[in-house]
Amino acid sequence: MGNPEINNQNLEKDIQTDFHKEMSYGDYLSLDMILSSQNRLSNHHDEMLFIIIHQTSELWMKLIIHELNAAIQCIHRNNLEPSFKMLSRVSRIQQQLIQSWSVLSTLTPSDYMEFREKLGHASGFQSYQNRLIEFALGKKNPHTLVVYKHQPELYQVLNKSLHEPSIYDAAVLALAAHGLVIDEEALNRDWSQSYASNASVEDAWLTVYRNTEKYWDLYELAEKLVDIGHQQQLWRFHHMTTVERIIGHKQGTGGSSGVNYLKRVLDQPFFPELLSLRTKL
């Protein structure tokens, strides 16, 4: 480590060292608040891991929502190119989230059982940010909102998102804006319902994929969406396998069937026509 006094003397002369009246790194990031928010309810060593994994995941989810909402607005304005960077960023964040499951998998079943009862009925199923991401990707279920009725402001945020077009709805509207024929029922549907596959949408995407030079921006958008849908499915899969590894087929703390519920969710892919068209190309 060396002598601190010698190290200080060797600092470059312009490095700021006096922060009595200046904003520091910790001030800017509110680290005093962030790093004091890991409040274990047990004395078990591994509960710290459990808390930090979930807290950092929520921070990454906040950034995903930020990027998805901005990308949706770009697509609505028929300004597709800026959305590509945003969607690429979402994909990279998803990779970070997927990797986090491998860290959590170091939690053994015996260790988790030492503090699991402290969670009560708290469960990842209640993550409102994960719900907002699913809504933004087109997976909507009005019945899930009942979980948030005890928080009226949050309920309103989720209800608003539920009734807005998803990023895939925005992409379908963009197809029509580029002169491709889309059924009216796909353009003016009930946004609060999960997207259902439509033959005219598949035909339009097939036209895009068969004429990539003419529809390059739409083609690029489609591939960005496929990447995000794929990463989200990988996240779901690693979630399921990590839960299975730690608690087997026990009921979830929030009352769900646990692994069985997560397996059913895996059968609900995103952006259906972007997958089905590949068979027809």
Question: Residue 50, annotated ligand binder?
Answer: yes
The Cα 216–Cα 208 span in angstroms is: 8
Q: Is residue 183 part of a domain?
A: yes
Q: Is residue 196 part of a domain?
A: yes
Q: Is residue 1 part of a domain?
A: no
**How far, in Å, are 24, 62, 90, 136, 182 from residue 154 at the CA level?**
32, 14, 23, 16, 34
- Using the predicted structure, report yes or no on whether residue 71 has a pLDDT greater than 60: yes
Give mean pLDDT, residues 231-243. 94
Q: Is residue 20 part of a domain?
A: no
Question: Residue 239, annotated ligand binder?
Answer: yes
Q: How confident is the model at residue 10 (pLDDT cuts 50, 70, 90)?
A: confident
Question: Residue 53, annotated ligand binder?
Answer: yes
* Helix (H), strand (E) at residue 104: helix 80-104
* Token pair belonging to 34: 């962030």
Q: What is the CATH number of the domain that holds 156?
A: 1.20.58.480
Q: What is the model's pLDDT at position 129? A: 97
Q: Is residue 17 part of a domain?
A: no
Tens-digit pLDDT profile for residues 152-188: 999 999 999 999 999 999 999 999 999 999 999 999 9
The Cα 207–Cα 281 span in angstroms is: 10
Q: Residue 218's domain spans which residues?
A: 44-279
Give mean pLDDT, residues 208-228. 98
The Cα 202–Cα 274 span in angstroms is: 7
Total tally of structural domains belonging to the chain: 1
Q: What is the model's pLDDT at position 8? A: 56
- Percentage with pLDDT > 90 across the chain: 85
Instruction: Using DSSP, state whether 155 is helix, strand or coil.
Output: helix
Question: Residue 76, annotated ligand binder?
Answer: no
Q: Is residue 173 part of a domain?
A: yes
Q: Which residues of 175-187 are buried (b: 16+ CB within 10 A; e: fewer)?
A: bbebebebbeebb
* Token pair belonging to 193: 């319902």
Name the pTM for this structure.
0.92
- Using the predicted structure, report yes or no on whether residue 4 has a pLDDT greater than 70: no
Q: What is the model's pLDDT at position 150? A: 94
- Using the predicted structure, report yes or no on whether residue 125 has a pLDDT greater than 90: no
Count of residues making up the chain? 281
Q: Is residue 76 part of a domain?
A: yes
Q: Is residue 31 part of a domain?
A: no
Q: What is the model's pLDDT at position 236? A: 94
Question: Residue 34, annotated ligand binder?
Answer: no
Tens-digit pLDDT profile for residues 244-265: 999 999 988 888 888 998 999 8
User: Among residues 185, 204, 194, which one has the least CA distance to residue 277?
Assistant: 204
Residue 160 contacts residue 134 (beta carbons within 8 Å)? no
Residue 190 region by backbone torsions, left for phi larger than 0, else alpha for psi between -120 and 50, else beta: beta
Question: Residue 116, annotated ligand binder?
Answer: yes
Q: What is the model's pLDDT at position 118? A: 95
